[in-house]
Structure 1
Amino acid sequence: MLSREDSRRLAELERQLRRDDPEFCARLEGAQPLAPAHRKRFPITLILTAVVLWATAITLGILTWWSPAAITGACAVTVSTAVILRTRRVPKG
């Protein structure tokens, strides 16, 4: 247990720290930081993958290979959905 004097000094140090560096205190408490730590990157590899899959699905469809075209199209839809969800994600806070 801390003595009364130690508790008072600890409270004083805590107030001073909150006044000097509120962002650090917020991180220690588990709150969201005031400013974003890093910029969200655009999912360029997912976009390129979606474009390649769509082009492949269309090509296979033109060649009348229906089963591979359908499978590739399903994969293209999945990747395109991932692209949409990643670009529309709203940061919490």
Structure 2
Amino acid sequence: WYDMPGYGRSDKGAEQRTSLDVQGEVFAEMLAHWDLEQPTVVAHDFGGATTLRAHLLHGCDFERYVLMNVVAMRPWGSEFFDHVGRHVDA
């Protein structure tokens, strides 16, 4: 599926927002586009917050959802990502 039109790598420009609010909205739009009214969702890490935002703020309902090791509250990320952020050149 990776080489199918509409799939594959995205080319993110500097002006494109990818923040949590955008991810929740885009996930809700994707579910609507695919006409999925109550899908089963398994979410991990940042996907947990995205899934919860789609449900709580954008009216998406799920048959069930499983949230595993989610990042849903601040502070975001782990010590690893904090370290990488401080040493981007490495």
TM-score (norm 2): 0.25
Between structure 1 and structure 2, the one with the greater Rg is 1
- 1 or 2, which has the higher strand percentage? 2
- 1 or 2, which has the higher helix percentage? 1
TM-score (norm 1): 0.24
